Structure 1
Amino acid sequence: MTPDDTIADPRAAGAHSPSSGDQQQPAPGLTSKMDPPPDHGEETYVGKGLLVGRVALITGGDSGIGRAVAIAYAREGADVAISYLPVEQSDAEDTARWIEKAGRRALLLPGDIQDEAHCHELVAQTVARLGAIDILVNNAAHQTVNKELSDVTSAQIDESFRTNVFAMYYLCQAAVPHMKPGSAIVNSTSVQTKTASKTMLVYAATKGAIASLTIALSNLLAPQGIRVNCVAPGPVWTPIQPIAKDPEALEALGKDTVLGRPGQPAELAPAYVLLASAQGSYMTGALIPVTGGAPML
């Protein structure tokens, strides 16, 4: 970050809100179609060498919060593998260019994390090609919205839990045997863990499960010197928004927060850096809210 960021007005920081609500996309969505483009810290994040020599695997690392974390980790000195769906290849290649521009290695690993075998292969490829796995960021997510309880389908429940929750079990099972003391797992939960909007019956349930899983894993893995924490974003301008929300909801994005605006992916990255680095060495089982002021009590 630049020195001016320390005195920026938080009501106006974080670049732009959606230019209009009329920009829906089919899942999984692409950054290139968003107006205005999200800010991932491409021009602002300045590393301090906090992750030199580390190797990170980030699911959903092609865009949104995942891309911002990938850029930040690379500038902190880490090599980065990113997982994404094959149709997101163009976004993934953009992210890889930023990682390589920081002088680090980028490993692109397309596939669907709903598949248990693929989750194990992600870890195997990261270790084989980058030499280790020190940081696992479980960030990829599937989001659906509903108007009524009757709108929720079994397919939505299945896809959401497989992507958001089941994959975390698979990836952690594969990664932990390769992790040394000092390694870290960082999970993406959500403000929905507590606010649980009536239109997000499935998504909120998965994010609540992630928060609880984080605590349980932190207790289980602490004797091995592996820390497990999570970040709870509020409304953030990422491709998941124009996928799931109608024009009215998109135009209102973030306006009900204390700061009156949506967040930008770049504003989340520092929390993920803290939890992955030695700066967070006494933090495990923690949930860091980055919510624009919504309480997470």
Structure 2
Amino acid sequence: MKFARLGPIGAETPAVLSEGNYFDLSSLTADIDGDFLASSPSDAVARALEVGSLPQISNASELRIGAPITRPSAVICIGMNYAAHAAESGALPPSVPIIFLKTPNTVVGPNDSVEIPPNSTKTDWEVELGIVIGKRASYLDSPESSIDHIAGFVAANDISERDFQMELSGGQWSKGKCAPGFNPTGPWLVTPDDVDYQNLALKSWVNGEARQDSTTADQIFPVDFIVWHLSQFLALEPGDLVLTGTPEGVALSGRFPYLAAGDVCEIEIEGLGRQRQEFRAH
């Protein structure tokens, strides 16, 4: 099942995509938020679709696509989770997951334009599989129990400013991760039953030229392990977003130029949809 949010910023309509059409979920929920996801909504939505009680959004193709979840309480990210990306960053593969944080207000729609921060010279792209939490996860017993706490998956672009991240960081990465709009998310939240999440193709392009081309099968720490591991140190709440790392092919590698005003970045994850952002000057 694919959930989405359509409409202007701050006034998005919750929706479900079924057989190529979007249907309004407003009769079932005010938004795609933690409370809705914690209710395990798929069965109720399926019944409503079956009886025809959800109105079709006839002008969906004309509407802005918002992030498929409301602003989460936390965005937690895994760094260097693909060996080839660690190598292009000049680092060895980590022996335990590296985590850093993005502020929740970085989460924007998948096709919203992104402002390059003032004084930025190294704005970079990163296609990533995102996990959306559906049930509170704290001190889980095993990685195998993680799936019971996952509402679904999203495509995300973990946009980064590498100079802020590496040179001005003081030892942490988040300065380079938290500019407004630095986390385009969506277009859909796809429930686990509809996606082979550990075998998904991830790709990115800049101005139509291929950049990243990998698969989630190459992750050092797989999805189930990540959720379990994080739960040993913090509590993940319904609606929270976990980004699982990016594969090789970013500007940090030195093989490609960093993003500049006017550039267009596109990312795509198999089954989770495609994004397109135009970058603009501050």
Query: Do the structures match in fold with TM over 0.5?
Result: no
Question: Higher strand share goes to which structure?
Answer: 2
Question: Higher helix share goes to which structure?
Answer: 1
TM-score, length-scaled by structure 2: 0.28
TM-score, length-scaled by structure 1: 0.27
